[in-house]
Amino acid sequence: MTQPFPFPVPRRTVLQALGASAAAAAWPSLAQAQAKGKPISIGLPIAQSGPAGVADHADYLNGAKLAAKQINAAGGVKGRPIELRVVDIDIMTPEGTQAAFRKLIDAKVQAIASPFVLIPVPAMTTVANYKAPYLHGNTQQASLDLVRKNPKRYDHIYQIDPPETFYGAGFPLFCEQMEASGAWKPVNRKVHIVTEQIAYTQTITQSAEAQFKARGKYEVAKVTQIQFPVQDWGPVMQDLKRTGAGVIMINHWVAAELAAFAKQFAANPVPGALVYLQYGPSQPEFLTLAGPAAEGMVWGTVYGVYADKQGQTFRDQYKAEYLSKGGVMGLVYTGGGYDTVQLLANAWAQAEPENFAAVNQAIKRLRYRGVNGHYRFDNPNQAPLHYPLETQKLEEGIAHLFFQVQGGQHRIIAPEVLKESAFKAAPWMK
């Protein structure tokens, strides 16, 4: 298991960085006085406005800034500071996506790091001939399929997290494990899935339906389609009441809208149901907007900040940097931005940043343990493995985390090896 900068000189560098307190220079350039060589530029397409993605992108940028600050304060990479070049991006359209990536190519950055885009193909085709490493958190099987089917064209593109299919495949397993542990007893074996109509969520729903059927423990009784933005959850609530399922899966990813759902559900719940909200509560505004209605809600992410010693150290550093006056920390892309910059710094410790071919080979050789899990890209997908469905060893993959809101805080309740707290009966279960 490696830590940031596994090689002799850089390893000393990062250990010094963990205790560094030097302030960062003005964003978006974070070059530090301690690192005086030619800057190494990472291009970040970050959504700064729009109807979706802004919170996650802000989390990612904050994590990247923190990593760059620590590395630069301790001397950079071989004396060269890491510089973040940020451009705005419209992740909702192919044209907006392409425009942002072209700007970064024109700037001749040494790498591109993206939290995610909603339409992966335009981004990937835009950078196809610019062979600087492109690391992204798209969480999409479509991205992996392109890399696997076109290995020469996309050999410099890496997904930092498992694909969305595991949201669907992992949730039935979670339900079975919770029941087997005795922590939860289903009131019935019906599952009601409420799903948004974009390709990402439709893929998750299809995967969940297939896995529930294949595993045979629970039956998908109803699938209700919704469309972003959700103006009123009333019709959905009526549908949920009619079905009366013991398991409710809300397959939506926008925190503000899930908070609105939580309020309506808490006011008139389906008695005894396990309520699972796919991913969206990871965004900081969920707890703020939902308030007490969030209590007892379960949510999951195939990519998130662990609460082990390494993860907790990062959480503490992040809160000290950005939340010293209070607030809620995002628990997904904060770690993603941090880990990505550390990954790149590891690769640049082995190869000159301008030598894209050598850097890409270094990335493929890496075995890196970050705050969000264990990364390796030496496979046809050029993506880390999902724990536990692709690897049974925690230190060989990225763990699928399940959280429950307890006492107004997010607590990891699964997998067992990483849990902070046991599952607790939600208010509508008592």
- pLDDT tens for 59-102 read 999 999 999 999 999 999 999 999 999 999 999 999 999 999 99
Note down the domain range covering 190.
Answer: 165-301+400-429
Strands 157-159 and 190-196, sheet pairing:
unpaired
pLDDT in tens, 139-175: 999 999 999 999 999 999 999 999 999 999 999 999 9
Regarding whether 125 and 208 lie in a shared domain, the answer is no
> How is 87-153 classified by DSSP, letter by letter?
EE--TTSHHHHHHHHHHHHHTT-SEEEES--SSHHHHHHHTTT--S-EEE----HHHHHHHHH-TTT
pLDDT score for 279: 93
Residue 134 lies in a domain: yes
Residue 226 confidence (pLDDT): 96
pLDDT score for 20: 35
Does residue 321 share a domain with residue 296?
no
Number of domains in the chain: 2
**Is the same domain home to 413 and 288?**
yes
Q: What is the mean pLDDT of residues 126-144?
A: 97
**Within a domain: 31:** yes
Task: Answer yes or no: is pLDDT of 23 > 60.
Answer: no
Does the pLDDT value for residue 248 go beyond 90?
A: yes
Residues 144 and 182 in one domain: no
Q: Residue 62: what are its φ and ψ, rounded to 5°?
A: -60, -45
Torsion of CA 271, 274, 278, 279, to 10 degrees: 110
Q: What is the CATH number of the domain that holds 319?
A: 3.40.50.2300
- The pLDDT of 35-64, averaged and rounded, is 92
User: For the residues 281-285, what does the mean pLDDT come to?
Assistant: 94
Give yes or no: residues 155 and 179 share one domain.
no
Please check the confidence at residue 108 and state whether its pLDDT lies above 70: yes
Is residue 234 located within the same domain as residue 348? no
What digits encode the pLDDT tens for the residues 332-354? 999 999 999 999 999 999 999 99
Q: How far apart are alpha carbons 339 and 289 in whole angstroms?
A: 28
**390 within domain boundaries:** no
- pTM over cut 0.85: yes
In a domain, 381, yes or no: yes
Same domain, 226 and 77: no
Q: Does residue 388 have a cis bond before it (omega within 30 degrees)?
A: yes
Q: Are strands 401-406 and 298-301 parallel, antiparallel or unpaired?
A: antiparallel
